Amino acid sequence: MSVLFEKTLNKEIPTPLYYQLKEILLDYIVNYDDNMDVPIPTEQQLSVRFAISRPTVRQAINELVFEGFLYRIKGKGTFISRPKIQQEFLQVLDSFHNEIKKKGLTPSTKVLTIDMVKSDKSVSEVLGVTEGSTVIKIQRLRFANDDPIVIVDTFLPYNLCEFLLEKNLEQESLYELIEAELSLKITRAVRSLGAVLADDYEAQLLKVKQGAPIQFIKSTTLLSNGTPIEYSLAKYRGDRNTFTFEMSR
């Protein structure tokens, strides 16, 4: 904690004091503290050390909690969250299983539901099928080192993917099964990133508070012959995932 308390606030500049403290705490979280079992100093301790009000301290901490860098345990204090998983999902077309393994983590999957349903307008437009057609809907909860990371709702055309109903999707890769069965590679995906707040059901599955921020990614995946094969809606825990974008000019 000595490194944290070596810092000072500058009350002569227009930058808000809460924001200055937030930056000091964030630097400490990212670069110095590796003991996540010990709470950070209390609001009172920070207030005294930096000679600012407790509401100012509380605002800085609240923002770091909302952004997923800190979390509170009632009666015990405020703790540093585990490091976020750097996801290349928006840049690289690979399975969740392979992506997590490449990061040195252990992936696993729980199939929550697998059903045949009637396609609505949005699913039909993406998959290129008639509205009301039969599609396969799979809902999976996916883990890294036993921590729930993402809920994925996947829609697939029934006429091409009926064989999946007999497969063990907790042990086998969806992409590998499709490529083997259809003798076509999955070569392209179009993805969009947004943000939503966790509802009660999502909060229970992902082990976050209701209303916590979630990264929401819509994906359309296509085969090498241009046929749309998958439409997925993925909701990633905001406190455990960060996504990288790479651009060039």
pLDDT at site 100: 67
Contacts (Cβ under 8 Å, ≥6 apart) of 174:
95, 138, 154, 164, 230
The answer to whether residues 71 and 100 belong to one domain is: no
pLDDT at site 89: 45
Percent of the chain past pLDDT 90, that is, above it, reads 46
Residue 249 domain-assigned? no
Amino acid at 81: S
pLDDT: is 93 or 165 the higher one? 165
pLDDT: is 14 or 3 the higher one? 14
Question: Cα–Cα distances in Å, from 16 out to 7, 47, 71, 119, 148?
Answer: 16, 15, 23, 51, 36
Written as six digits, the tokens of 239 are: 């406190």
User: Is 80 exceeded by the pLDDT of residue 2?
Assistant: no
Mean of all residue pLDDT scores within the chain: 84
User: Is 70 exceeded by the pLDDT of residue 73?
Assistant: yes
Which domain covers residue 105, as residue numbers?
A: 85-243
User: Is 90 exceeded by the pLDDT of residue 55?
Assistant: yes
The answer to whether residues 115 and 197 belong to one domain is: yes
pLDDT at site 98: 67
